[in-house]
Amino acid sequence: MKARNGGLLVLAVALVIGSVLVGSRREGAEFAGSDGRAMEAVATIQPDYRPWFGFVWEPPPEIASGLFALQAALGAGIVGYYLGFKRGQAQGRRSRTDAGD
């Protein structure tokens, strides 16, 4: 089970790395977001459409990268806390039963 999960994680990382390698060989590859490209597609379908509402607040690019990192860190932190907590709990249970034997 452990080996299988390790394999799956390696596969996931390999997919991402492979994507960068294959993707950057393509002409004009700049890894633009697909959301942005969809909005460009809107412009080709209806060139006269103008967004009627602007962002409430747009962070400066450097701040935006920090906020994205913050979002990822908060998420990863909580997930990591949970996984570690559960593992520790299971280990504690095991060592208690060992001591009881």
Handedness of CA 61, 64, 69, 72 (dihedral sign): negative
Handedness of CA 65, 71, 75, 81 (dihedral sign): positive
Asked whether position 56 contacts other proteins by CB under 8 A, the answer is: yes
- Contact between residue 49 and residue 42 where contact means Cβ atoms under 8 Å apart: yes
Asked whether position 92 contacts other proteins by CB under 8 A, the answer is: no
- Residues found near other proteins in the complex (CB under 8 A): 1, 4-5, 8-9, 11-12, 15-16, 18-20, 22-24, 26, 28-39, 41-42, 45-46, 49, 51-59, 64, 67-69, 71-72, 74-79, 81-83, 85-87, 89-90
